[in-house]
Amino acid sequence: MQDRNTTVRIYAEWMFDGDDVVPGSGILLGVSGSHIAAVRAGANPEEADLQFSGCSVLPGLIDSHVHLCFSAGRTHAEVVEDLLKSDGDQLLQRAIKHAQQALKAGITTLRDCGGPTQVLLALRTLVNQGKLPGPEVLVSGSPITTPKGHLYYVGAPATGAEDVERRTDDLLEAGVDFVKLIVTGGNMTPESNRLGCQYSAEEIKRAVRCAERANRYIAAHVLNREGLRRAVLAGVRTLEHCSWRTGLVHHEFDEGLARLMRQQGQIASLTMSAPTWRKVWPEMGKLDPELFRDLEDRFASERQMIESGVRFILHTDAGVRQTPVGISLIYGLRAAQLELGLSSVECLRAVTGHAADALGLVDRGRLRVGQRADIVVVKGRPWQDLSALHEIRGVWCGGKRCV
Ligand SMILES: [Zn+2]
């Protein structure tokens, strides 16, 4: 141990380090200021300031697609109504509340994928100035969409390549961390068509180039396979929802497209919002059966994609219908294990090490010396049973204990 700078030493029985379960037991983590100063196995509890027997440490979780200004109301219409009737102050208060809720579920990094730009920048500033304990928030601000397209009510409107480039520049100028581009219609906007596309591959490419010049990237909303194809051709980094939908209730995997995704290192960002929890939360199964009509097809195409070796991460899309920020990530991971045939370790990687890689966050996602001290302690071993994630015993965000 490099004790000199260590401000707190945490003992836990076991560790998942963001890549794998570390063999052996008796883990001692040294935290110095905002960073991890030491990691060691084979330690005794007496060596630590804080002892968590029967517990595991893991990196702070990353939910890479949420909407902190959305209310997670009962229906899509209710969520939109809650959004439109709230002023900037009310939305900021809601976003703050949701961010604090996330900490209680062990989430130390959130990527907000769309909401009013100024509200989200204000939230990010509060966290960065230390006025809120965390989690760290990455923001896209207003998503770029067509004038009556998906999420237009919080969108930055753009029609055609020139417009797309101008809006991308404006957002980057405002200081967003990445830009969200709405390539297809979406469920929350009845005026849009989720089977249709809003932008051509060429228009998407303009946004990609523009973001890359500023060292940023594009996250694209894609809810059908043609939109996915366009976003892949355009070189989009994270493919949100990454849907293989080819018809109303039909999804079909395409190996040629997957090959391109693998070659270009693109990331499928898969959505585990409330309707996907049907096997872990039976109440869900009593909801509108319409929601489940295409789930089998959806999961089948996603399983094929994962088996083909495409990089993927898991997110909640929290803030949308019935999907509160925070605990939804734990339900989502448990559902992903059952529905996508993933191991619990693969699920954990998708919200720690792999999520950090996907978002280009080199300072977190793994419990290593020099990384940000984003740490979660849970009772039990979540790689044996993911429901251990419900038993949070401590959360540190940038070295500060928040829970
Ligand atoms: Zn979303």
Q: Write out pLDDT tens, residues 115-170.
A: 999 999 999 999 999 999 989 999 999 999 999 999 999 999 999 999 999 999 99
pTM above the 0.95 mark? Answer: yes
Q: pLDDT tens digits, residue range 272-289?
A: 999 999 899 877 767 667
Where along the chain do the CATH 3.20.20.140 domains lie? 61-358
Q: pLDDT tens digits, residue range 340-395?
A: 999 999 999 999 999 999 999 999 999 999 999 999 999 999 999 999 999 999 99
pLDDT score recorded for residue 292? 77
Q: Which fold has domain 61-358?
A: TIM Barrel (3.20.20)
Buried b (16+ CB within 10 A) or exposed e, 348-370: bbbbbbbbbbbbebeebbbbeee
CB count within 10 Å of CB 400 equals 14
Q: Residue 402 pLDDT more than 80? A: yes
Q: What is the DSSP letter of 134?
A: -
Distance between Cα 64 and ligand 1 center (Å): 10
Distance between Cα 66 and ligand 1 center (Å): 6
Distance between Cα 114 and ligand 1 center (Å): 7
Helix (H, G, I), strand (E, B) or coil at 328: helix
Q: Whose CA is closest to 103, among 129, 132, 128?
A: 132
Q: Output the six-digit token pair for 3.
A: 């004790």
Distance between Cα 273 and ligand 1 center (Å): 10
386: left (phi over 0), alpha (psi -120 to 50) or beta: alpha
Distance CA(383)–CA(271), nearest Å, equals: 21
Where along the chain do the CATH 2.30.40.10 domains lie? 3-59+364-401
Reported as a pLDDT band with limits 50, 70 and 90, residue 5 is: low
| DSSP H or E segment with residue 378 | strand 375-379
Distance between Cα 35 and ligand 1 center (Å): 31
pLDDT score recorded for residue 1? 40
Distance between Cα 236 and ligand 1 center (Å): 16
Distance between Cα 182 and ligand 1 center (Å): 10
Distance between Cα 322 and ligand 1 center (Å): 13
Q: Whose CA is closest to 379, among 22, 124, 57?
A: 57
Separate counts of helices (H) and strands (E) for the chain? 11, 19
Q: pLDDT tens digits, residue range 93-113?
A: 999 999 999 999 999 999 999
Distance CA(181)–CA(198), nearest Å, equals: 10
Distance between Cα 207 and ligand 1 center (Å): 19
Q: Which CATH superfamily is domain 3-59+364-401 in?
A: Urease, subunit C, domain 1 (2.30.40.10)
Distance between Cα 70 and ligand 1 center (Å): 10
Strands (E), 136-192: 136-139, 144-145, 156-157, 179-182
Residue 47's contacts (CB-CB under 8 Å, 6 or more residues apart) are 1, 9, 11, 28
Distance CA(394)–CA(229), nearest Å, equals: 42
